Structure 1
Amino acid sequence: MLAMLKNYFAFFLVLPFLGGAGLYLTLRMRGLQFLKIPMAFRLLTRKSKGQESLSSFGAVAAVLGGNLGTGNISGIAMALSMGGPGSLFWMWVMALLGAIIKYSGTFLGVRYRELSSRGGYVGGPMYYLEKALKMPLLAKVFCIFTMISAITVGNFVQINSVALPLTEFGIHPFILGAFMALIVGYVIFGGLSRFAKASMIIVPLKAVGYIATSVFILISFHDAILPALKLIITSAFDFKSMFTGVATYSLLTAVRDGFARGLFATDTGVGLAPILHAPVTYTTPGVDIAIAQGVISMLSPIVVMIVCSLTGVVLIVTGAWQTPGLQSTNMCVEAYRIGFDSYLAGHIVTVTLFFFAMTTITTWSYCADRAVEYLFGEKAIKVFQWIFVFLIPIGAMAHVNLVWAVADISVNLMMVINMIGILGLSKLVIHETNAFFFKTKARKGLMPHLNDREEVSKSSL
């Protein structure tokens, strides 16, 4: 039943909704995600002030902490086993379209943010749904699904994927979950400052380490790289036989799973980036901070696409994706075992997954905290944090297929609600963006006055 519901969401909501919205925003903002990546890197070095604020680098690290989770490893293995190599191509498409969606959401999240009682900014889809679209009920529903997704996607899925390979060493999933709960509790109970520091240290290290080891394997299997890329493209566009029933179903499955993994890996349209970029502060004259943070937010889908692609190509060149009886994380462990010709080396994935899972869990916890704060006030945050940490060992023992099905459904529901906000306010985003970058005349009434419109120097861009 859950699998059927998940497929329904993927075919009838994820594909047309996100794909169409991404294409529409890309065309209306003239391919911004392709043109402004160099600007994003230049803006990334800006500093923030205040204890309850993040730097731009801290915000990107936090977003990547949530994005670079088990979905980039075990999720890609699942996409290959279910949708075939062609799903990787459609994942690339989703990531590129997702970059402009992430820009739009982050722009709105910063534009409609508010000062909290702690002295820092808070923002996200719930704020622009309520303040700009006058939909307070939908804002509350979004927060509820954020809390549910944090427990399923950001908690159960992460620890469950780490627990799978460690059972081979005789480590009980509950013990692993309890150990992870201690580390996560230390980070999230330390507030925004400790969360930011953990993200800025661990995320770059885990990303560079995983990329380096993956590149080493690809160098060893360099003869198989071009055939693997050819297989990805031909599987994505199997025009010769696509008019047969089986082939058409296979093609649709590749599109569905590629888009679903792209969504899951980059949180495209889900609404995490608007929450995580809202605390960023700096003051330099010239451009609205909402535009600056929107541009910076486009970096994370690019990084995620690189990591996911490396995982997928490694699985193909080593042949691990066709090994019978392997699922999820264990398939990736087998790929690294083959790549390094060592049984123990295969568990590089296990170590990497542990850190991927840890930062993803803490990122989702932070985003859920903002949802709890919006619904129930600041005092309720600690209660939710204790519940969240307590559930980590339980997630380690959950059934893998059930966990992934519930996670996909909850994320899709978050995405639908957030996309209502983004599309409902798309005129504002499009006209302010085009007015700044392409010197078009912004329409009156689309640029509301806000007292927190910090700016950065145009000349420095």
Structure 2
Amino acid sequence: MLNTIESINNAVNNFIWGVPAMVCIIGVGLYLSIRTNFLQIRKFSYSIRVTLGRMFRKRGASDGTMTPFQAVCTALAATVGTGNIAGVAGAIAIGGPGSVFWMWVSALLGMCTKFSEVTLAVHFREVNEKGDLVGGPMYYIKNGLGKNWHWLATLFSAFGVLTVFGTGNATQVNTITTAINSALLSYHLIEEGSAHTTSLIIGIILAALVALVLLGGIKRIGSVTEKLVPFMALFYIVLAFGVILLNIKRVPAVFSSIVYGAFNPAAVTGGVVGTFFMSMKKGVSRGIFSNEAGLGTGSIAHACADTKKPVKQGFFGIFEVFADTIVICTLTAFVILCSGVPVPYGEAAGAELTILGFTSTYGSWVSIFTAVAMCCFAFSTIIGWGLYGARCIEFLFSSRIIKAFMIVYSLVAILGATMDLGMLWSIAETFNGLMAIPNLIAVFLLSGTVVRLVKEYFDGEGKE
């Protein structure tokens, strides 16, 4: 049965992430960049200034909303997850070091895509029956494209509900259990045979914690993410920079292998990864899995922000992709490649490869700290995607079903703790691709609205 599921998923995955998907994702990002005169480059310093300025501005949010800082933390909570750790490791193993280069390319164009998604989400959002601000791809399709396109909004929401269980929950929990088990085994605190029991216990604890946060509503979600995200990101960045500094002599060779391997992967991987397209496919798909540019999911959190300026909130999208992929994913790649650990090219790899990069540099003692960092990353992602799933199911049915969804979503953590990682990543990657299609169509068709809003914003000097 599992072999059949795997075969079907592989066939669908290969089609979705084939040439048409690469053209769509890269193409829409390039199209939006051209139409906005490469806003993500022209206004990069402005976006960082605006983003950081609003992050450190302390103010409350009205009922049913988040502060702009809480919104970006919730979106970052969902993006800065195991895709940055296990996903990057998997991309390097299957696509070679060159896949990192294609992550950078997808991130550069993805900055404009995510900017557009966030801007549209805030512009076309609604207030639901509970008084909460709701928005995202399904709402900018519904309110921006009209009744004839309602089917596309329904399709996005349906794929969204299916995606959150794998991308947002099961893969994250699986990485948490891998990290904790690796740390406990390295200290001989558990035996090899008892790892499954430990995973089950971890799954039950996580299910309870996730339910506790999500059932508390939008205010509690925002409150948790604004405290957790800055701590975990800074903690991980410091650890990763330490590995790079201790192996600084290898940095030029690593950078060369990334650039050269992007176009000639066989020369870098000894022929194990022999195709340029495989390197590109893994880099782009894992990059999108990590930063969500093109999926539209991050815009769901931003739609909750207590702001009246869609474009100003849109600049958070540029910052998110930069922080997630250009900074954190790159640091993970350099931890693996600079540390000199053997990379199993052509085979599936995950968080354990990243952990090995840290322990080979610092020693086994650091495994407990990397486990803590990965647990924070993964848990924050579960929370963020829980909000996304709730909004999608609310759009399909009503807000009355949200609590039931939250309970089911929380219980999936128990399944994710004991499932096979390889198949989980593959299925999550497939649903990510399916989710991106209706969103990219909508963003492409609404690009004129984005251009108009940007012009109006800067004509008004961008002042609230």
Q: TM-score, normalised by structure 1?
A: 0.89
| Segment drifting more, 246-255 vs 59-68 | 246-255
Residue 89 of structure 1, aligned match among 95, 98, 101: 101
CA distance in 1, matches of 2:361, 2:422: 27
CA distance in 2, matches of 1:177, 1:240: 40
- Aligned to 1:279, the other structure's residue is in SS state coil
Match of 1:153 in 2: 167
Asked whether the 8 Å contact 2:173–2:378 carries over to 1, the reply is yes
Match of 2:351 in 1: 329
TM-superposed deviation, 1:430 = 2.1
Q: Which amino acid aligns with 2:401?
A: A
- Aligned to 2:275, the other structure's residue is in SS state helix
1:392 equivalent to 2:413? Answer yes
- Aligned to 1:190, the other structure's residue is in SS state coil
- The count of corresponding residues between Structure 1 and Structure 2 is 434
Residue correspondence of structure 1 range 252-263 to structure 2 within 5 A: 252-263=277-288
CA distance in 1, matches of 2:462, 2:142: 35
1:174 equivalent to 2:164? Answer no
Asked whether the 8 Å contact 2:97–2:265 carries over to 1, the reply is no
TM-superposed deviation, 1:124 = 0.8
CA distance in 2, matches of 1:239, 1:58: 41
Match of 2:40 in 1: 33
| Segment drifting more, 163-172 vs 130-139 | 163-172
Structure 2 residues not aligned, in runs of 5+: 1-6, 185-189
**Deviation string, structure 1 residues 330-356 (Cα, Å, up to 9, x no partner):** 11111111110x113134322211111
TM-superposed deviation, 1:40 = 2.6
Q: Which amino acid aligns with 2:200?
A: F
Match of 2:223 in 1: 197
Match of 1:76 in 2: 88
1:281 equivalent to 2:306? Answer yes
Match of 1:18 in 2: 25
Residue 144 of structure 1, aligned match among 125, 137, 158: 158
CA distance in 1, matches of 2:318, 2:119: 11
**Deviation string, structure 1 residues 285-341 (Cα, Å, up to 9, x no partner):** xxxx1111112221100001200000001100112252688821111111111110x
Residue correspondence of structure 1 range 104-123 to structure 2 within 5 A: 104-123=116-135
Asked whether the 8 Å contact 1:336–1:347 carries over to 2, the reply is no
TM-superposed deviation, 1:459 = 6.5
Match of 2:112 in 1: 100
CA distance in 1, matches of 2:457, 2:462: 13
CA distance in 2, matches of 1:34, 1:21: 17
CA distance in 2, matches of 1:282, 1:264: 27
CA distance in 2, matches of 1:405, 1:248: 18
CA distance in 2, matches of 1:389, 1:459: 41
- Aligned to 2:139, the other structure's residue is in SS state helix
Residue 61 of structure 1, aligned match among 70, 73, 76: 73
1:301 equivalent to 2:326? Answer no
C-alpha distance 436-225 of structure 1, shift in aligned 2 (>3 A): same
Q: Which amino acid aligns with 2:40?
A: Q
CA distance in 1, matches of 2:373, 2:11: 32
CA distance in 2, matches of 1:184, 1:401: 24
**Deviation string, structure 1 residues 11-59 (Cα, Å, up to 9, x no partner):** 2343110101111111111110112233334433164631211111111
TM-superposed deviation, 1:240 = 11
| Segment drifting more, 321-330 vs 380-389 | 321-330
**Deviation string, structure 1 residues 175-212 (Cα, Å, up to 9, x no partner):** 11111112111111111111001110000000000000
C-alpha distance 240-320 of structure 1, shift in aligned 2 (>3 A): closer
- Aligned to 1:143, the other structure's residue is in SS state helix
Match of 2:3 in 1: none
- Percent sequence identity is 27
Asked whether the 8 Å contact 1:29–1:434 carries over to 2, the reply is no
- Aligned to 1:327, the other structure's residue is in SS state coil
TM-superposed deviation, 1:5 = 2.4
Residue correspondence of structure 1 range 287-436 to structure 2 within 5 A: 289-305=309-325, 306-322=327-343, 327-340=349-362, 342-434=363-455, 436=457
CA distance in 1, matches of 2:171, 2:306: 32
TM-superposed deviation, 1:239 = 9.9
Residue correspondence of structure 1 range 118-133 to structure 2 within 5 A: 118-133=130-145
Match of 2:461 in 1: 458
Match of 1:448 in 2: none
| Segment drifting more, 164-173 vs 313-322 | 164-173
Match of 1:454 in 2: none
Q: Which amino acid aligns with 1:20?
A: G
| Segment drifting more, 59-68 vs 137-146 | 137-146
Asked whether the 8 Å contact 1:80–1:321 carries over to 2, the reply is no
Asked whether the 8 Å contact 2:96–2:273 carries over to 1, the reply is no
Structure 1 residues not aligned, in runs of 5+: 284-288, 440-456
